[in-house]
Amino acid sequence: MAVSVKMSSKNQIVVPKVARVALGLSPGDRLAVVVDGESIRMEKVPPDLEDHLRGTLGGLGFRDELWAELADT
């Protein structure tokens, strides 16, 4: 299935109904946009995966380390 969308002046797109239904999307759901060379696809991000990643990454303190590295440059 291929559908055409137009980007707004605010860099936003509307996901057409046929695509929302096919992906099982509801308001507030997140999409992963996967770019692989010339190929681009969108996938629904499971809510539990997003929460898991947020919890896992938040506990690592990687943001603090990243900001420290950037401050040194």
Within 1-73, residue ranges assigned H as helices are: 17-23, 47-58, 62-72
Model pLDDT for residues 36-63, shown as the tens digit of each residue: 888 888 888 877 665 555 555 555 555 5
Please tell me the distance from the alpha carbon of residue 10 to that of residue 2, in angstroms, as a whole number: 23
Q: How confident is the model at residue 71 (pLDDT cuts 50, 70, 90)?
A: low
CA distance 24 to 22: 6
Higher pLDDT, residue 63 or 16? 16
Nearest CA to 27 among 37, 35, 17?
17
Question: How many residues are recorded in the chain?
Answer: 73
Cα 19 → chain centroid: 16
Please state the rounded mean pLDDT for residues 25-44: 86
Q: What is the mean pLDDT of the chain?
A: 76
